[in-house]
Amino acid sequence: MLSSTLSRLGRGAARRRWWVIGAWVTLAVLVTAAAGSFGARLQDQFTVPGLDSQKANDLIAAAGSGQDGVTAQVVATPTSGRPFTDDEAASAALDELQADVAALPHVLGTTDPAGELDGNPATAPGVTDAHGVAGSSLSPDGRVALVRVQYPPLEELSAADLDDLKAVPRDAALRVEMGGDLFFAYEQQPANVGELVGIVAAAVILLLAFGSFVAAALPIGMAVLGLAVGVGAMELAANVLVIPSYAPVLGAMVGLGVGIDYALFVVTRHREYLARGMKVDDAVARSLAVAGRPVVFAGGIVVVSILGLAVAQVPFMTIGGAAIALVVLLMVTASVTLLPALLAVAGRRVAGRRAVEHTSPGWERWTRHVGRHPRAYALGVTALLVALAAPVVALRVGIPDDGALPPTATQRQAYDLVADGFGPGHNGPMVVAVELNGDPDALTWLTDAMADDPGLAGVEPAIVRDDLGIVVAYATTGPQDEATAQTATRLRDDVMSAALAGTPAVAHLGGQAANFADVGQRVNDRLPWFVGAVLAMSFVLLMLVFRSVLVPLKAVLLNLLSIGASYGVMVMVFQWGWGGSLIGLQETVPIVSFIPMFMFAILFGLSMDYEVFLLSRVREEGMDTEAVVRGVARTGRVITCAAAIMVCVFASFVLGADAATKMFGVGLATAILLDATLVRMVLVPATMTLLGRANWWLPGWLDRVLPRVEVEPAADEVRVPVAV
C-alpha cells in the first residue's frame, strides 16, 4: 500500500537524516560542477519533420546552396546621418567592416554594400554571390547598409562564432548593430531576477503562514536544491540532445512552484502531528503517509501530462517537456526523501511558537455564506470566467521576433534599422525551394506570379542548383505579423499552385516566417487531441479516486473555465496590449505557438493537486453539505497559501526580458489565481451545495467494475495519539 511505503520511507529518511541530506547535497554539487565544466549550451531549433517549410529547408540543404545554414545580419548606418554616397569616411569604414566579417571563421559568404556603392556588377542589387546570399544590401535612401552573413548549419558552429562576430572592429564613422539566427541560437539571455524575487516572496508567505523561520526555510531549501540538480542535468543532457533554451526558465518556474507547494502540504501535516504530541520521527512518518500520497499523485499527473506533449509531434516541445518533467519528478522525489530528513533535523522547532489551527473560522464563515447563496455565486463566477475566456476566439499563435526585444538590445536595433531602411519583410525573408523536375521554365512563371502578389514587397532573381530552383522573397509586413502568415498561406494555396499548374515542378515555401507559421499550425491542429486526452484522463482518475460521475465531470468543466480564462487574459495583455507596459512589453506580439499546450499540461496537474486536496477532506468529513463547509475550512488556508506562493513565483517571471517568459508568467499566475480562489473556494462549494448527495452518485455496475484507488489514507489510518 502506498501510504505504508511512504511511511517507511519517511521514517527511514528521518533516522538516516544526515546520510540523506549529504547524498542530496553531494548530488547537487557534482551535477552543478559537471554542468559548469562539461555542460553544453542550450539551443533553439525549430526543425519539425513533415512540415512544408521543413521540406524546403531540407531540399536547400541537399542542394548545397548554403542557404540552409545559419545567418546573421550586420547593419550599419553613418553616424553623420547622411547617405553613404555623401559620407566618404562611412563608406570606407563600411568596406573594412564587410571585409572583416567575411574573413571570420566559418563564414561562407556575405553581401557587399560597399561594392554596390562602387557599382561593382558582381554585387549589384538582385545578384547573389557564390553561396546564394541574395538581395540588395543598400537601402533605397542610401542610409542603411546590410551585410548578410551566411554560416554553415548550426551543428558546425559554436558560441565562439557569435563572439567573433560581436568582436569585429567598429569605426567611429559607423553605428553598427547585429542580429539574426546566430544570435537566436547562441546569445545568452540576461540573468532573470524573477527567480530570486519569487523565492523571497514565497519565503515571506511561508513565514506569515507558519510563524516559524525554520518551517518557512525547509520548503525553499528543498526546492532550490532539487532545482539545482534539475537545471544542471539539462545542461549535461544538452551534449546529446538539443535542449531548448526555454527549458531551464520554465523548469525553474514550475519546479520552484510545485516543489514549495508539495513541501508545504507535508510540513503542514507534520506541524499538526507535532502539535498533537507525536514524536518527531513518528510525525515525519505519518505526515508523509498522509500528505505524501497526494503529492506523489499530483506530481505523477504533472509529469505524465507534460510528457503527453509528444502528441504534438514537434521535437523541441517533446524534448523541452521531458526536461521540465524531470524537474517535477526531482521535486516529488525530494519531497519524500530530502524533506523528511530536513524535518527530522529541525525537530520540534518546525512547530514554532504559533498555535497550529486545524480549522480556519474565516473560511468556515465564507463557505457557509456561499452555501446560503449557491445559485448566485455559481452563475456570477461562471459568467466572470466566461467573460475572461471570451478573447480566446482572437488568440493568434506565432513566434515573437527580434522586434519584441527591449529597445536597448542590439538585435532589436538592427531589426528596426532594417525595417526602416528596407521594409519589415527583410527581417524574415521567405525562401521557396522549387523541384524543377526537368522544367526550368516553371521557375520563371513562379517568380512572375510571386512578383504580382500584393503581400510581397520584392522577389529576388532565382538561382538554380542542379534541378532545384531557389527564390528569395520579402513580405510587406514583419515576420510575426498576422498578415505575413496570411501571405504565406496564399502563396502556397493560390499563387504557387496556380503558377506551376500543368508543370512537373513542385514548390515548397520555407524561411523563418513560413516556419513559424507552420509550427503554430501544427500545434493548433494537435491541441484539441491533446486537450481531449488530458481531460479524459483527468475524468477517469478522479472517478477512480472519488467514486463519482459528477465530481470528475464538474472538475473537467471547471478546469476548462479557469484555463480558458487565463488564455483570454494572455490575449488581452500580449495581443491587445492591455497593461503590457506594466510588465515591460515593448509591443503587441502573438502568443508563442507552444505556450497554450505547455500551459494546459502544467495547469492540469496543478489543478488536480488542489482538487484532490480539497475533495479528499470533504469526503473524510462525510460528503454532505456540512462536510463541504468543514472540508473547505480545513483546507482553505493551505490551498490559499500554496496558491499565493505559486502566483508569486510565476508572476515574478514577468521581470524577464523575453516575451515568451513573460507569457508563461502571466498565464500560469492568472490560471492558479483563478483556480485557487474563484474555482476552488467559490464554484466548488457552490456547485457541491446545489448538487448535494448527487455529487457522489455512481451507478452500481460501474462501482463494481472500477478498481479502487485511494489518494488519502482511510480515516483510521490518520488517527494519531495525543501526548498525555
Question: pLDDT tens digits for 134-145?
Answer: 456 888 888 999
Using one digit for the tens of pLDDT, what is the confidence trace for 664-713?
889 999 999 998 888 888 998 899 888 888 888 888 888 888 887 665 55
Q: Tell which residue, 609, 471, 449, 641, has the closest CA to residue 542.
A: 609
Against a cut of 0.85, is the pTM above it? no
The C-alpha torsion from 288 through 291 and 296 to 298, rounded to 10°, is -170
pLDDT, greater one: 143 or 356: 143
Grouping H, G, I as helix, E, B as strand and the rest as coil, residue 452 is coil
Q: Using N-to-C axis directions, what is the helix angle for 2-15 and 338-346, rounded to 10°? A: 50
DSSP 371-419: HHSHHHHHHHHHHHHHHHHGGGGG--EE---GGGS-TTSHHHHHHHHHH
CB 229 within 8 A of CB 28: yes
Using one digit for the tens of pLDDT, what is the confidence trace for 559-606?
888 889 999 999 999 999 898 888 888 778 888 888 888 888 888 777
123: confidence class by pLDDT, cuts 50, 70, 90: very low
Average pLDDT over residues 298-306: 83
343: confidence class by pLDDT, cuts 50, 70, 90: very high
358: confidence class by pLDDT, cuts 50, 70, 90: low
Of 32-36, 489-493, 602-606, least confident by mean pLDDT is: 602-606
Of 165-174, 335-344, 386-395, 606-615, least confident by mean pLDDT is: 606-615
Average pLDDT over residues 71-96: 90
CB 596 within 8 A of CB 622: no
Burial 135-145 (b: 16+ CB within 10 A, else e): bbbbbeebbbb
Give the whole-angstrom CA distance, residue 635 versus residue 617: 7
- Cα within 13 Å of Cα(697), Cβ side: 9
Of 45-49, 64-68, 224-228, 487-491, least confident by mean pLDDT is: 64-68
| Residue 132 confidence (pLDDT) above 50 | no
Using one digit for the tens of pLDDT, what is the confidence trace for 389-436?
999 999 888 777 787 777 888 988 999 999 999 898 888 888 999 998
Radius of gyration over every alpha carbon of the chain, rounded to an integer in angstroms: 29
Q: Tell which residue, 146, 148, 139, has the closest CA to residue 85.
A: 139
Secondary structure element (H or E) that encloses residue 432, with its range: strand 430-435
Secondary structure element (H or E) that encloses residue 80, with its range: none
Average pLDDT over residues 77-105: 91
Residues 6+ apart with CB under 8 A from 582: none
Using one digit for the tens of pLDDT, what is the confidence trace for 233-244?
988 888 888 888
| Residue 178 confidence (pLDDT) above 90 | yes
Using one digit for the tens of pLDDT, what is the confidence trace for 243-260?
887 888 888 888 888 888
Length of the chain: 724
Give the whole-angstrom CA distance, residue 263 versus residue 206: 11
CATH number corresponding to 407-517: 3.30.70.100
Whether 407-517 and 69-186 are alike in CATH topology: the answer is: yes
Mean pLDDT taken over the chain = 84
717: confidence class by pLDDT, cuts 50, 70, 90: very low
| Residue 121 confidence (pLDDT) above 50 | no
127: confidence class by pLDDT, cuts 50, 70, 90: very low
Of 52-61, 100-109, 707-716, least confident by mean pLDDT is: 707-716
DSSP letter at 49 equals T
| Residue 715 confidence (pLDDT) above 70 | no
Within 493-592, strands assigned E span: 506-511, 591-592
Using one digit for the tens of pLDDT, what is the confidence trace for 186-231?
776 665 666 778 788 888 888 887 778 888 889 898 988 999 999 8
Grouping H, G, I as helix, E, B as strand and the rest as coil, residue 208 is helix
Q: Give residue 352's pLDDT.
A: 65
Give the whole-angstrom CA distance, residue 611 versus residue 543: 12
For CA atoms 384, 386, 388, 391, give the dihedral sign: negative
Q: Give residue 345's pLDDT.
A: 92
Check residue 463 and give left, alpha or beta (phi > 0: left; psi -120 to 50: alpha). beta
Q: Give residue 1's pLDDT.
A: 63
Give the whole-angstrom CA distance, residue 404 versus residue 590: 10
| Residue 49 confidence (pLDDT) above 70 | yes
Q: Give residue 309's pLDDT.
A: 83
Strand partners, 174: 78
Average pLDDT over residues 548-569: 89
Strand partners, 506: 435
The C-alpha torsion from 595 through 386 and 588 to 136, rounded to 10°, is 60
CB atoms closer than 10 angstroms to residue 519: 26
Of 497-511, 526-540, 612-626, least confident by mean pLDDT is: 612-626
Secondary structure element (H or E) that encloses residue 457, with its range: strand 456-459
pLDDT, greater one: 121 or 471: 471
CA-to-CA dists, residue 82 to 76, 143, 174, 417, 657, angstroms: 12, 7, 11, 15, 33
Q: Give residue 128's pLDDT.
A: 39
CATH number corresponding to 69-186: 3.30.70
122: confidence class by pLDDT, cuts 50, 70, 90: very low
CB 251 within 8 A of CB 242: no
Q: Give residue 712's pLDDT.
A: 55
CB 409 within 8 A of CB 461: no
Q: Pick from 120-134, 351-365, 508-522 the range whose average pLDDT is largest.
A: 508-522
| Residue 621 confidence (pLDDT) above 80 | no
Q: In the block, which residue shows the cell 488536480?
A: 608
The C-alpha torsion from 444 through 447 and 450 to 452, rounded to 10°, is -70
Q: Give residue 27's pLDDT.
A: 94
Q: Tell which residue, 664, 676, 638, 608, has the closest CA to residue 256.
A: 664
Average pLDDT over residues 497-515: 87
Q: Give residue 167's pLDDT.
A: 92
Average pLDDT over residues 118-139: 49
DSSP 235-287: HHHTTTS---THHHHHHHHHHHHHHHHHHHHHHHHHHHHHHTT--HHHHHHHH
Q: Give residue 194's pLDDT.
A: 65
Give the whole-angstrom CA distance, residue 633 versus residue 459: 68
What is Dmax (Cα atoms) for the chain? 99
Average pLDDT over residues 64-74: 71
724: confidence class by pLDDT, cuts 50, 70, 90: very low
> What burial class does residue 524 get, using C-beta atoms within 10 Å of its C-beta: 0-12 exposed, 13-18 middle, 19+ buried?
middle
Residue 185, all three cell numbers = 541560437
Secondary structure of 121-167 as H, E, C letters: HHHCCCCCCCCCCCCCCECCCCCCEEEEEECCCHHHCCHHHHHHHHC
Q: Where are the domains of the chain?
A: 1-38+189-356, 69-186, 407-517
Q: Give residue 332's pLDDT.
A: 92
Long-range contacts: 94-98, Cβ < 8 Å, 24+? 94/145, 94/174, 96/169, 96/171, 97/147, 97/168, 97/169, 97/170, 97/171, 97/174, 97/176, 98/147
CATH number corresponding to 1-38+189-356: 1.20.1640.10
296: confidence class by pLDDT, cuts 50, 70, 90: confident
| Residue 361 confidence (pLDDT) above 60 | yes
